[in-house]
Amino acid sequence: MKYVYPAIFTREDNVIYVNFPDIENCFTDGHDLSQALENAQDVLSLTLCGIEDDGIAIPQPTAIESIVVNDNQFVNFIQADTVDYRRFYRACSVRKSLTIPTWLNQKAEQSGINFSQLLQEALKKQLNV
């Protein structure tokens, strides 16, 4: 899923702190704006993956114009794609056993079918990912 949430960036000393007012316990920081933006996208994606995995309702993002900030703060939108995040960070493979008829196995092997690749493609098609 793709999400966009406002984040509050706070400059203090040599650090930029980032928090998401709509997502509980979702915060990070960075030594410069580039690092803070990258870390914000990472923590938002990670947190939303956890919320999805727990089956909890995803909170609605607050309208950016309704967020009040101090002089050392600004608000910026951060985008998260949990499908891409999972694909990138959880790309390790797992072994699955399956049972098919012998005759089908022989025909598939004779045709040079890669069972793992075929199953992955079929699952992605079935799940629309």
- Predicted confidence (pLDDT) per residue in 60-104, tens digit: 999 999 999 999 999 999 999 999 998 887 766 777 888 889 999
Rounded-to-integer distance, Cα 50 and Cα 110, Å:
43
Question: Are the beta carbons of 85 and 49 closer than 8 angstroms?
Answer: yes
Distant-in-sequence, close-in-space partners of 79: CB < 8 Å, separation ≥ 6: 2, 3, 4, 41
Are 36 and 75 within one domain?
Answer: yes
Are 22 and 54 within one domain?
Answer: yes
Segments forming the whole domain that contains residue 100? 93-129
Q: What is the mean pLDDT of residues 40-48?
A: 96
Are 67 and 107 within one domain?
Answer: no
Are 76 and 112 within one domain?
Answer: no
Please report, as a single letter, which amino acid is at residue 90. Answer: R
Our count of domains for the chain comes to 2
Are 7 and 70 within one domain?
Answer: yes
Are 21 and 66 within one domain?
Answer: yes
Are 76 and 101 within one domain?
Answer: no
Q: Is the pLDDT of residue 54 over 90?
A: yes
